[in-house]
Amino acid sequence: MRELRVTIQEAERASYPIFLGSRLDEIFAQWLRENGPWGRVALISDDRVATVHGRRWQTILAAAGLGVVTLTFPAGESSKTRGTKAQLEDDLLAAGLGRDSLIVALGGGVTLDLAGFVAATYMRGLPLVSLPTTTLAMVDSAIGGKTGVDTDQGKNLIGAFHPPQAVFADISHLETLPEPVYLAGFAEAVKHGLIASVSHFEKLEHAAAALLARDRQVLESVLAESVAIKVGFVEKDQRESNARKALNFGHTFGHALERLSGWQLSHGDAVARGLLAECRLSRHLKLCSLADEKRLERLLVRFKFVQEPFDRLGPELTPEPRGRLAFNDYLRATGSDKKARDGKVEYVLLATIGEVARGGENSDSWTRPVADDTIREALWQTW
Ligand SMILES: NC(=O)c1ccc[n+]([C@@H]2O[C@H](COP(=O)([O-])OP(=O)(O)OC[C@H]3O[C@@H](n4cnc5c(N)ncnc54)[C@H](O)[C@@H]3O)[C@@H](O)[C@H]2O)c1
Ligand SMILES: [Zn+2]
């Protein structure tokens, strides 16, 4: 078991531990004892996770003497809405949960975002504990305090910063994940290597086979490193005004793709393609090298994000029905992305594996505005 910590200098209240390991039952129980007293507890999960893992955590909470109310909603991104949030809030009110209650979010990124947002506003804010159950949630969503829901206009447009009191990332949860969901989180781990640590990227290259086999020891060590990178960015910039923007690498293209596929493509698959597209854009701008791009492509193939060398895929990245991604649709999708500023979309660009290309006109910036024509040349005309 490893313990990491997010330390936010300005606000001690926003600092929290992240426990990562294989059987965290006792650590969780001890944390509850040491950090209470708590009133009642709402355990919030999607219906799939509740069925597979709910009882284990209900039992621990009950054994700690806490009154537990379990609330579920249908699994999937389509539940991450204001409607589901309102339903959960009505359920909490009906169950009579007051200001002294604790929200425990058990699940993937959808559950953590949704239950976290409920915790942010219910009775003007309740304490939150996150129990991530997907690879993606462990290395990404559980850390940083972002919560929120989607609307028809785009993902995560309504939300709040509401850091948890503690995160318990129990690797044993990962054993019940379908392979594509399990692998999806490695797109974010690869991203962490790309933007901050060539040694993390190398570790993913060396450990790929063991990770595919879900070797617990290797998983613990790789996930801990990936979590530490995300923690580093969050500590530098809690509210995403500067350094934390680097975490959006691959996401401008990725989010557009996710939307244009009608959410058929998973976030991990979309981000994997986005990493490669934005690496290619960086190469076109003479920032990173062709060798970097090829190396990234090989790693993404190992994690089964793309079946064939990307060169042959070109911008035909949408899932069935397979079709060329129209440049104009792409522009529209990124234009309404909330990262767009004054009509020009800002991209995080790569200098090399492990390092973001800083600067441009504004020397310290982690992003650079890229003209539409440049995107077209880099991604539509050369592919
Ligand atoms: N807040 C943030 O900083 C942040 C960061 C990255 C991603 N996200 C959000 O996270 C979401 C994606 O997260 P996700 O991929 O974890 O999706 P998810 O929560 O929908 O989980 C994926 C699927 O796996 C199932 N599942 C989860 N854990 C399981 C387990 N242990 N065993 C069996 N099945 C299990 C779920 O029921 C679901 O069907 C997106 O909405 C994204 O916007 C948020
Ligand atoms: Zn992401």
> Along the chain (383 residues), what's the average pLDDT of each consecutive run of 10 residues?
73 80 95 93 98 98 96 95 98 97 98 98 97 97 95 89 96 96 97 98 98 96 96 81 88 86 82 92 95 94 72 44 66 65 80 91 81 86 60
Give all domains of the chain, ordered by start, each with its CATH number. Answer: 2-176 (3.40.50.1970), 179-381 (1.20.1090.10)
Query: In angstroms, what is the span from residue 315 Cα to ligand 1's centroid?
Result: 26
3-class DSSP assignment, residue 311: helix
Ligand 1 closest atom vs CA 143:
3
Report the C-alpha gap between 112 and 142 in whole angstroms: 7
> With contact defined as beta carbons under 8 Å apart, do 352 and 292 qualify?
yes
Report the C-alpha gap between 250 and 267 in whole angstroms: 11
Residue 6 is predicted with a pLDDT of 79
Q: Phi first, then psi: what are they for 382, rounded to 5°?
A: -90, -15
Q: Which ligand is nearest to the CA of 185?
A: 1
Binding pocket residue ranges, ligand 1, CB within 6 Å:
46, 48-49, 52-53, 75-77, 80, 107-111, 113, 133-134, 136-137, 140-141, 144, 146, 155-156, 173, 176-177, 181, 184, 267
Residue 328 is predicted with a pLDDT of 81
Q: Specify the pairing of strand 16-21 against strand 2-6.
A: antiparallel
Count of all residues that appear for the chain in the document: 383
Residue 307 is predicted with a pLDDT of 58
Which residues are bridge partners to 169 per DSSP?
20
Please work out, in degrees rounded to the nearest 5, the angle formed at the alpha carbon of residue 277 by the alpha carbons of 134 and 338: 70
Q: Ligand 1 pocket test: pick from 84, 191, 223, 267 the residue with the most ligand atoms within 8 Å of its Cβ.
A: 267
Catalytic-residue membership of 284: no
Task: Label residues 116-137 b or e (16+ Cβ within 10 Å = b).
Answer: bbbbbebeeebbbbbbbbbbbb
Q: Ligand 1 pocket test: pick from 53, 85, 136 the residue with the most ligand atoms within 8 Å of its Cβ.
A: 136
Catalytic-residue membership of 240: yes
Catalytic-residue membership of 202: no
The whole-angstrom distance between residue 216's C-alpha and the CA centroid of its chain comes to: 21
Residue 321 is predicted with a pLDDT of 36
Q: Which of 80, 162, 203, 248 is catalytic?
A: 248
Closest C-alpha to 286, from 363, 194, 377, 190: 377
End-to-end, the C-alpha distance of the chain in Å comes to 45
Catalytic-residue membership of 267: yes
CB burial of residue 143 (10 Å; 0-12, 13-18, 19+): buried
Query: In angstroms, what is the span from residue 12 Cα to ligand 2's centroid?
Result: 27
Q: Which of 10, 34, 124, 308 is catalytic?
A: 124
Query: In angstroms, what is the span from residue 137 Cα to ligand 1's centroid?
Result: 6
Ligand 1 closest atom vs CA 184:
15
Report the C-alpha gap between 369 and 383 in whole angstroms: 22
Please work out, in degrees rounded to the nearest 5, the angle formed at the alpha carbon of residue 289 by the alpha carbons of 365 and 357: 5
Q: Which ligand is nearest to the CA of 230?
A: 1
